[in-house]
Structure 1
């Protein structure tokens, strides 16, 4: 039997589809999973292909070309550590381990440190695109041991999605946990993007009285312009789907409680740790947590009073405002995500290639959108750009859209419709463009009760006042 080019550990839907993608692109693959049923499924699906099903990790490693490349697609956390513990004595210096799970970047850095001196190379690779992306072409964000990149680049770029210019949506993000950090921020932006689309849908329903079937072509139309993206496209598809049991729109019979896997929460927590302003991402996480207390909300709806949502105007006038508000809010969320990437880059010295990050996100991943080409151009022109909103192109877009965002937020507030992501995006924009904020009073308060001192506008140094004396 020909030695395999790569071994894949974890043959769930993502792992199996990545293996099939690799094989389709000319690479011989060995697969292993602890679950015998998954091994059997893999053997059946790959019958007649350049693929081998191993019955143990030792057998998988023995089937690989040297230097060996082993890709882990197992749940993040303890399962990765367990596989690594069993795998390490089977590998030699120069071999490569790729962790393709949604791993916290600090875990990647810890595992790299534990492998120091062994010569085993470690790659933390963000993988985005879901099961279809894994099979047809995901966006890949690898980082870790720089020496590993030449060994995995041909495989990863071959299976990655291709942008409109033909470039693979896979590039090296940097050393250490850079790859998994970029994927985490991708997911944080994804949380915000999804929440804002849901808020646009909610406004159409509550303030314009539109049915799902009426909304679907609106989203389809938006998908042809600046808002064009994977998430807008699937929203149009979702809204036209009918439930075969009730005949109602399927979205109407889905319970309004959203789940999460933690990456949006990590993004928000780390933004707080680093002192980076990312309220729209955080509010998208909180929107999911408040959705989860559905029975409590139903009870509260019978007690707490608010305005009754009413028709806000002609659809032909209001829908373009919601469209432009969504565009403005979306830009604010992306700006927050890229600002977090810049802050992490300064702290960890990863030398993140910001234009390449935007380039990798142009296809294959969940947040792929037309706007990312403009973001790629912005960072290609200035990799040190501190915030996307001050780029001349995006500043112009915001100038065209910010009034619509204000009016839509006001409409929602007056109608009692919760739009936390839209509201926080507007507050973020207004705070970021303010030369002066009320933090001067806040510092005076802190000094009053805690003698924390303050700085002055007219001379350097730290000062304290004996207030009230």
Structure 2
């Protein structure tokens, strides 16, 4: 019998389940795609603690009770569909964990419906991307506190560690975990927008080339701006393009997409009456960037502003200060929203605990 079950063996799911097995827990996966099941078996071939199936009955039958089943599938109707497919086969007291970016009100609905069946439901935000899922993500769970005790040993083992302390903690009842992950992503939107704007200032206002941009961001990453986003920004400037003789960053279209979590953060902040202008603007700028054809037409009609170039040393110093200040402001806006939402929705969030579990593993770690 296996300690942990995981539904959805895409890159994130496969990496997470291998992480579980690496940390001493047996894990069983399930996916309708036989190729993904076989990929897991191949990659986990040296691990006796990993197996998978395309048959949901076989999957459930192989799990220890109370069953701990995590879903790493796209948010929305697919989550409901997977839950419905599990219900005929699981028992009272079993635990279902949604590890995707589900909207928090969907999590409240699902928790209420499953509570009526005596099934425990968790919304657990997972941040760190595919690499984090494999080597240690930041995990943000919310749901039944008593049921969390069954999940806690596994989550603490697989989570990222900061000075030995796991970057996971029980956050609160109902959708507390999904809500915290939503705001985490909203903050991420803000930080990414600010980083791109400073890049634009240095490139156009200081005429920086890619090597100089790499040097500046790398230097900032060794100081008070040390963070995952500043680190990977510094690295992108050195990345050669596989298809041209230039750098990859110069080939990337200035057109962004979004999955919805930043928008949800902004919308919910408005519902609560919380000002989060850095996050609001970041969402709007992504939407504006998507209007590529309109921007090309406007560029042909209007003159560009004349940029007065500054001394590079002065510009770099001012840019570092501006980015540092703006990062702090963006975090403050997100934490303000969490504090007020905690009162509104009865989460009883501990902001200091949230800050601690963001210190490693997650995208906004800093």
Structure 2 length as normaliser, TM-score? 0.98
Partner of 1:128: 127
CA–CA separation in structure 2 for the residues paired with 1:297 and 1:276: 31
Give the C-alpha shift of residue 40 in structure 1. 1.4
User: What's the counterpart of residue 443 of structure 1?
Assistant: none
**Residues 219, 235 of structure 1: 8 Å contact kept:** yes
Q: Give per-residue Cα distances to partners, 1:161-192, cap 9 Å, x unaligned.
A: 001x2110000110000000000000000000
Q: Cα 1:244–1:39, aligned 2, differ >3 Å: closer, same or farther?
A: closer
Q: Secondary structure at the match of 2:201?
A: helix
How do residues 352-371 of structure 1 correspond to structure 2 at under 5 angstroms?
352-369=349-366
Q: Is contact 1:143-1:180 (8 Å) kept? A: yes
Counterpart of 1:37 in structure 2 is 35
Gapped runs of 5+ residues in structure 1? 370-469
**Match of residue 52 from structure 2:** 53
The whole-number CA distance in structure 1 between the counterparts of 2:304 and 2:204 is 14
Q: How far apart in 1 are the matches of 2:362 and 2:311?
A: 36
Matches within 5 A, 1:210-225: 210-225=208-223
**1:325: which partner in 2?**
322
- Choose 1 or 2 for highest CA Rg: 1
Cα distance in structure 1, aligned partners of 2:300 and 2:15:
48
1:48 offset after TM fit, Å?
3.4
CA distance in 2, matches of 1:61, 1:18: 18
Shift of 1:246: 2.4
Please state how far the C-alpha of 1:91 moved relative to its aligned partner. 1.3
Distance 1:331 1:185 in 2: 15
The DSSP-based 3-state class of the residue aligned with 2:124 is: strand
Paired residue secondary structure (2:287):
helix
What does 1:350-429 align with in structure 2 at a 5 Å threshold? 350-369=347-366
Counterpart CA distance in 2 for 1:266 and 1:260 is 11
Name the CA distance, whole Å, in 2 between partners of 1:73 and 1:249: 34
Match of 1:137 in 2: 136
Partner in structure 2 of residue 88 of structure 1: 87
Please show how residues 167-178 of structure 1 align to structure 2 within 5 Å: 167-178=165-176
CA contact (8 A) 1:123 1:148 kept: no
Taking a change above 3 Å as real, the CA distance of residues 300 and 231 of structure 1, as seen in their structure-2 partners, is: same
- CA deviations 1:367-405 (Å, max 9, x no partner) are 000xxxxxxxxxxxxxxxxxxxxxxxxxxxxxxxxxxxx
Map Cα deviations across residues 64-120 of structure 1 (whole Å, 9 max, x no partner): 111111011111110000010111121111111110001111100000111123221
The alpha-carbon deviation at position 310 of structure 1 amounts to 2.8
Larger relative contact order (CA 8 Å, sep ≥ 6): 2
> Contact 2:9 / 2:31 at 8 angstroms: preserved in 1?
yes
- Counterparts of 2:249 and 2:94, CA distance in 1: 48
Deviation at 1:306, TM superposition (A): 4.8
Query: Per-residue displacement from partner, 1:133-161 (whole Å, max 9, x unpaired)?
Result: 00000000000122211000000010000
Does residue 288 of structure 2 align to residue 290 of structure 1? yes
What is the aligned length? 365
For 2:174 and 2:134, how far apart are their aligned partners in 1? Answer: 27
* Cα distance between partner residues in 2 of 1:116 and 1:330: 40
Structure 1 residue matching 2:142: 3-state secondary structure: strand
Does 2:331 match 1:334?
A: yes
TM-score using structure 1 length: 0.77
Correspondence for 1:75: 74
Q: For residue 423 of structure 1, what is the aligned residue in structure 2? A: none
Q: Alignment RMSD, CA only?
A: 1.0
- CA shift, 1:131, in A, is 0.2
- Mapped to 2, the partners of 1:361 and 1:79 lie a distance apart of 28
**Cα displacement (A) at 1:215:** 0.5
CA distance in 2, matches of 1:245, 1:274: 48
Deviation track 1:267-290 (CA, whole Å, cap 9, x = no partner) reads: 000001111001110100111111
Q: State how far apart, in whole Å, the 1-side matches of 2:93 and 2:16 are.
A: 23
Question: Tell me, what secondary structure is at the counterpart of 2:87?
Answer: helix
